[in-house]
Amino acid sequence: MSLGNLRDLYQQVILEHYKKPRHRGKTEPVHRSQRGHNPSCGDTIELTLQLNEAGDRICDVKFSGEGCAIAMASADLMAGACLGKTVSEALEMVERFQGMMKGEVEFPKELRKLNVMQGVSQFPVRIKCANLTWHTLKAALENPDRTQPEAGFVSNELD
């Protein structure tokens, strides 16, 4: 597959998730809530999470917000990938995603859909758009008592 075709494929997947997101909305109930903002592009996102009773596994993730196709598609892909994962597995995925955007690692076969975002890493200004949702997820998972988005939002400006 030529590089041009590969880039088209990335774009196709990104646009598909942007136009027809599968995980938009709000979880019921909300066990974690976190807002994130990417000032360099203007993307904003709000994640809500539903956890299991023990609070160590993700039962559902939903997102809302406004932003570019890359930020929104990345949120939709992330939400799908995190379903059923433990909190520590999800935090590992955050690390892996950031590593992938630096060209260091790839996702294994069962999560290979996430590798489409690698196409974005060729455009440094867009990396923050793709990272926003993961950055926000990390903050949500690391703040156990946060159920109200008003409690604050994370900005990825300093990445």
Beta strands 43-51 and 58-66, pairing class: antiparallel
CB of 68 to Zn ion, least distance (A): 3
Cβ contacts of 41 within 8 Å, gap of 6 or more: 67, 68, 71, 125, 126, 128, 129
Find out whether 43 and 129 touch, Cβ atoms under 8 Å. Answer: yes
At residue 90, what is the residue type? A
Distance separating alpha carbons of residues 23 and 82, to the nearest angstrom: 11
What tokens does 140 get?
A: 């949500």
CB of 13 to Zn ion, least distance (A): 16
Q: Toward Zn ion, which CB reaches closer, 27 or 74?
A: 74
At residue 158, what is the residue type? L
Binding to Zn ion by CB under 5 A, coded x per residue (else -) over 61-90, reads -------x--x-------------------
CB of 69 to Zn ion, least distance (A): 8
Q: Is 120 in the site for Zn ion (CB under 5 A)?
A: no
Q: Which one among 11, 13, 26, 41 touches Zn ion, defined by CB under 5 A?
A: 41
Q: Which one among 21, 31, 35, 43 touches Zn ion, defined by CB under 5 A?
A: 43
List residues binding Zn ion (CB under 5 A). 41, 43, 68, 71, 129
